[in-house]
Structure formats: structure tokens, C-alpha cells
Structure 1
Amino acid sequence: MSDKPDLSEVEKFDHRKLRKTNTEEKNTLPSKEVIEQEKAAGKDKC
């Protein structure tokens, strides 16, 4: 048995059968204003 991986299936793969997808960027980080509001709310509770 050899240490090299079997690439025969990869060589047969037809990339033309893949469907085109549209990616949508999402900004999951809060804005500076939101961070400031949360800091202010945290100070009010203490």
C-alpha cells in the first residue's frame, strides 16, 4: 500500500456540473455606535 492518496475520482470529476451560487457578504460585527450604547447601558446598571 502506498502513502500517496488515490486521486482517480478527483480526475474524473466534472466541474461543469456544478451550479453557480451567489454569495452575500454579511457584517456580523456591531457598529461603533452599538458598542458605545452597550457600554453606556452597562455603566447605568452598576
Structure 2
Amino acid sequence: MMADRKAKMSDKPDMTEIARFDKTKLKKTETKEKNPLPTKETIEQERKGDATP
């Protein structure tokens, strides 16, 4: 079974599905940072020990 599958595979990917893909059907989404990096001010406060939990 695996031998049949391996025989059909080639070095280059099949791009036909990608060529037919319609980007206009995608929904627009708003991305939100789940774990934003701290600002320079926050880092400085933590270094001084002034950070409030």
C-alpha cells in the first residue's frame, strides 16, 4: 500500500489547488496580541523594584 503512494509522489509539490484558491472568499480578521511584550518603562520599573503585581 505504501509503495503505491510513494511511487506517485514527486519532488515538486502539486500547485494546482493553490492556483485555484480564491483569496477573496477569506474573511477579514483583526489580530490581537495574546501575550504582548513589556514596554521599556515596565522593564525599568521591574528592575528598580517599583513594579506592582
**TM-score (norm: length of structure 1):** 0.50
Higher RCO by CA contacts (8 Å cutoff, separation 6 or greater): 2
TM-score w.r.t. length of structure 2: 0.44
